[in-house]
Structure 1
Amino acid sequence: QDLAAALAELERMVGLEPVKQQIRALSAQMRMSRLREARGLPAAAPKRHFVFSGPSGTGKTTVARLLGRLFHALGLLESDRLVEAQRPDLVGEYLGQTAVKTGELIDSALGGVLFVDEAYALAGSGYTKGDAYGDEALQVLLKRAEDDRDRLVIVLAGYPEGMDRLLVANPGLTSRFTTRVEFPSYDAGDLARIADHLAAACGDVWDEDSGAELRSITAHVCEEGWIDELGNARFMRTLYEKACAYRDLRLIGLPGEPDREELTTLRLPDLLQAYGETAGGRF
C-alpha cells in the first residue's frame, strides 16, 4: 500500500517522464529482486546511491523523498526519512573537523536518505591541488556509502555541468554512484499545468484572461531560455503566490465584502503585477 501510494504520487507529478520511467524501472527491479530472494534465487543487490542531475526547481528533492518511501516500503530502509544537506553541513572550519562533521551528518541519516544538494560545491578550487575540505568530505561520503550500504541511500544532486565536473574530479564516485537520473527543464505546457495545480490545490482558479496570459508567459520564458535561471517549478510557485497577494490587495480596496468567487479568482492585473515582480526585469 505504501509502495503504491509513493508510485501514485510520482505519477501525479507534472512532466518529468524520463525521470518517472527510471524510477518505475528501479522500483520494478527492487520488487523482482525481493521475489527472487523469496524463491531462493540469486538476486542482485539494489542500487542505493544516485546522482540527480538537473536545473533548479525540477523536482529533485521531491523525487529523492519518494525514493526513500519506495525503499522503506520494500523493507530496504528502516524509515522514509530524508536528511537534506549542502556543503556547509559537511565541511568544517579546519581540516580534520570536516571528517567528523560529515560523519555525524551521515549518522543522522542512517536508516533513511541523505540528499546532498549542490554537491558539486564539494569539488571547489580552494587549494592549488583542489579543495582539501571538500575532498575530505567526499572521501568520508565514499567510505560510508560502502560501509553503510545496507542502511543508507545517498543522493548527490545539482545542475548538470556541476555534477559532470564533480564526477570527473572524483573518479571514485562513479563506482559508488552508478545510477544517474537526468531531470529535464519543464516546457511551457508543463509550467502552465503546474500553475493550474498550485491554484487548484488552494481552491483558486485563473480566470480566462489570466489563464491565457499565464500560457503566454510560460511560452515566453521558455523561448527566451530564462526558465532554468528563474527556477522552473519554483518560479511558478512564486508567481502564483505573488498573484494571490496582489489579488488580496486588490480585493481589500473594494467596497463591501468580496464573495466566494472573488476570493478564489486570480485575474489578469494580479498576474501581471506578480510577473513584473518575479521576472527580475525580464519582459
Structure 2
Amino acid sequence: MAKRREEPDAPNRLNRIAKKTDICFNIIFAVLALMCIIPVIFIFIISISSEESIRHIGYRFIPESFSADSYIFLFREADMILRALGVSFVVTIVGTALGVMLTTMMGYVMSRSNYRLNGLCTMIVFIPMIFNGGMLSSYVVNTQLLHLKDSIWALILPLLVSSFNVVICKTFFKTNIPDSVMESAQIDGATQFTIFGKIVLPLAKPLLATIALFLTFGYWNDWFQSSLYITNTKLYSLQALLDHVQRSIEMMANNPTMGVTMTEYMNSMPKEGARMAMAILIIVPIACTYPFFQRYFISGLTVGSVKG
C-alpha cells in the first residue's frame, strides 16, 4: 500500500511563496534598489564632469569630458569644508545620543500602566502629532526665551524629541518587555533607573537602533535650522554650507555686475560640479553608517507587530 503524502500544516502552507511570486518580488526589489543607487551614481558622474561638458550637453551619464576640478576646488576650500563637516558630526552625534536617551526614557515611563500621570503625558505627547504652534512661535521661543540664536544648540534642541519616536518606544516597551520581569526586579529592590538601564535597554537593541537611525538621518540632512537660527558662518553645517553655496551661485547669476574679484572667483569655480561633489561628500558618511544599524533596524520595523 502506497504511503499517503503528508500534507503540510495550514500555517506553513499559507506562508509559502510561489516561485513566480518570488521572482516578481525579486524584480521589484531590484528595481527599487536601482532607483536608489542610480541617482547617487549620476550625481557622482556630474561631479567629475567638466563645466564645458555640462554647459554644452547638460547632465549626461557619459559626458564629453571628465574633470577633477570640483574636488580640487573642495580641496582648496578644505578649511571651510572640514569646519562644516565637524559641525555636522558634532550635531549628529550629540543630538542622536541625547535624543535616544530622552525618547526611550519618555517611552518607558509612558509604557508603565501604574504610572499615575500616564494619561496626561500621553495626551501631551500625542497633541504635537496632530498640530503644533507654528514656525513663528517656535522661532520666538528659541530666540527670545531660550536665546539659542547663533548657538550650536539651535541645531540640536529643536529636533531632539519627536512624538512619533516616543510612541514607537512606548509601543515596544509595552508589547515586548513582560511586566513579570519588572515586578521581579522590584521585589529584589531594584530602582526604576536600575530596571531601565540594566534590564530594559539590553532587551531593546532593535528599538535603540531604529530611533538612532531616524535621529541620525534627521540631524545629518537638516539645513533648515541653520537657515533660521545661524548667521555665523563658522557654525554652518555641511548641508547649510551647500545651501549657502547654491544661493550664492544663484545670486551671482542674477547680479553679474557685482565686484570684479567676487565675479572672477565665482567664474573660476566649477559651479555645477562643486555642488554635486559636496552632495557626494554629504551622502558618503551617512551611507557608511547605515550597515551598522541594519542588523537591528529590520527588527525595529516590526515594533508592535502581532507575534505568532
TM over 0.5: no
* TM-score scaled by length of structure 1: 0.24
Higher strand share goes to which structure?
A: 1
Structure having the higher Rg: 2
Q: Name the structure, 1 or 2, with higher relative contact order (CA <8 Å, separation 6+).
A: 2
Higher helix share goes to which structure?
A: 2
